Structure 1
Amino acid sequence: MKKTYNYHSYLLSMLCLLLLGGCGDGDGVIFSIQDDLKLGQQVAHEVDSTYRAEGKLLERGSGDPDVQQAYQSIDRIVGRILTSGQVKYQEEFPWTVKIISDDETLNAFATPGGHIYVYTGLIKYLENEDHFAGVLAHEIAHADKRHSVKQLQRNYGISLLLSIALGNDPGALQQIAAQLTGTLTGLKFSRDAEAEADRASVAYLAGTNYYACDGAAGFFLKLEQDAQRGGAPPEFLSTHPASDNRIQNIQEMAEQESCKTNASPDTDFLQLKKALNI
């Protein structure tokens, strides 16, 4: 069965590319959603293995009550976003969230197929649950809008990605996982992809009827203020290029949506910080 899928999937992808100008979501993605899921599972397994070997992956089943509390808190935050009614692949993708214990790295990233990783450095850096929800919504958008697989498709080509999704190229899999975690050059999104993720973050947060829909703007404003004080640019900005008017654009989108912009309670975020002792 695996060999049949391999042949048919590859053949379909080549026919889409050569004859139809691309299948998938109609926006340049030849991968099917099932291919997204398979690639995401392979990449997530590699990322998990890497951070587990370094002792940095906080395991959900570890039995540590603080870690369990941390995941309960972050799951409630993510759950509000996913049930906003705005996430296209809410049901199709697993949307697993994993915490990486690294207080020095201010970053988060998403793999194809909805595997989300958050560094404790980002949690430690932020003080506001709306801003944290804005970053999570932005990363969810990268997976939901299939930006990760689009960029990987441009970088590596469809046939290699299909081979990786099927578990046939562990060397390339390690390289892709390293790109997503930023240990190489990082998976850098285009400014168009960043703008789309920003727009989606506003829609996702607006749909929660809980978070300030311009939460992502607060995060970028904090980064900007720290940069003006001479702080080093975080890993997040090296892989998420920003336009000069990004904050203004998010705020204008929130105004157009006429959505909630007042702060929500920080209850879950404070519990998350307390559980992680940061």
Structure 2
Amino acid sequence: MFRRTFSRLYLLGALTLSLGFATSSCTDENGNPVLFSIEDDKTLGDQVAHQTDSTYQAQGQLLLRTDPRNARAYQLLDAVVNRVLNSGQLQYRNEFPWDVKIIKDDATQNAFATPGGHIYVFTGLIKYLDDESQLAGVLGHEIAHADRRHTSRQLQNQYGINLLLSVVLGENPSQLVQIATGLGELKFSRDFEKEADQYSVVYLNGTGYYACDGAAGFFIKAQNEGQANPPEFLSTHPNPDNRIQAIQTKADELNCRNRQVNSSGLQELKSLL
């Protein structure tokens, strides 16, 4: 008990010192505050992912990697994710664990990522998409939220650093449940969304494979189908009009917009789900 209390006081004291001296360790390259260390990101992400896994597994919705029936589906999805992760453009490719899990829910068209790079994608989103560049674009957007540490910073804004540190130290299990439950509905700032869109283009360009405006393809599809029942992704990632243009402009700058991609893997994945 003394050791845990001392650790918490040490962390809070270190945080206070870092804030007091405004050192570069508490800001990113753009000068935005990042109060968590990379290790804190990983620890919080592992805890949230464990809680998320438990919740969806209890509901019978988590497709387990250990189940042989899911092996081919994960092989196909991993191929998309790994192309993005290995694009050479991620800041924390080697620091974060990075994995992806499928949630069986055809009625939900969404995806989200924890701090530290644990990605969740709903079957409803996978089945909604038309080509593999769209899937890579949406996943690239979520990877950017983790890699640019948007999720940590948004959680800090929402819950406060003291509460999050208590979760990291395992002292607040009820709050961990609340964070895990609400992560899929976490609403990012306009700046975070814009940056995630831009990095999705950068990541897909780095693959040398995908049309790097893939995320725009998702927004265009949702927009063309009207707003009667918009995908859940739009409720936490709004303003598709401006975003489509910004994504396409960035893709034009990189000259990677018109790549033709074989989407047979996506079609097979959809059939398996």
TM-score in terms of structure 2 length: 0.94
Q: Which of 157, 160, 172 is residue 157 of structure 1 equivalent to? A: 160
Asked if 1 retains the 8 angstrom alpha-carbon contact of 2:200 and 2:215, the reply is yes
Q: In the alignment, does 2:57 pair up with 1:60?
A: no
Residues 194-205 of structure 1 mapped to structure 2, 5 A cutoff: 194-205=193-204
Which residue is 2:132 aligned to? Answer: 129
SS at match of 2:82: helix
Asked if 1 retains the 8 angstrom alpha-carbon contact of 2:132 and 2:261, the reply is yes
Which residue is 2:150 aligned to? Answer: 147
Residues 5-84 of structure 1 mapped to structure 2, 5 A cutoff: 5-20=7-22, 23-26=25-28, 27-64=32-69, 67-84=70-87
Asked if 1 retains the 8 angstrom alpha-carbon contact of 2:19 and 2:26, the reply is no
Which residue is 2:233 aligned to? Answer: 236
Which residue is 1:112 aligned to? Answer: 115
TM-score in terms of structure 1 length: 0.92
Asked if 2 retains the 8 angstrom alpha-carbon contact of 1:189 and 1:241, the reply is no
CA RMSD across the alignment: 1.6
Asked if 2 retains the 8 angstrom alpha-carbon contact of 1:58 and 1:100, the reply is yes
Asked if 2 retains the 8 angstrom alpha-carbon contact of 1:137 and 1:200, the reply is yes
Amino acid at match of 1:100: I
Call closer, same or farther: CA 1:270–1:244 in 2, change over 3 Å.
Answer: closer
Cα separation, 2, equivalents of 1:62 and 1:24: 41
The unaligned stretches of length 5 or more in structure 1 are none
My pick for the range that moved more, 190-199 or 255-264, is 255-264
SS at match of 2:68: coil
Paired residues in the alignment total 268
Cα separation, 2, equivalents of 1:52 and 1:25: 37
The unaligned stretches of length 5 or more in structure 2 are none
Deviation (angstroms), 1:218: 0.5
Cα separation, 2, equivalents of 1:108 and 1:116: 7
Identity of aligned residues (%): 54
Alignment deviations for residues 214-245 of structure 1 (CA, whole Å, 9 cap, x no partner): 11110110011112xx5312211111122532
Cα separation, 2, equivalents of 1:153 and 1:22: 18
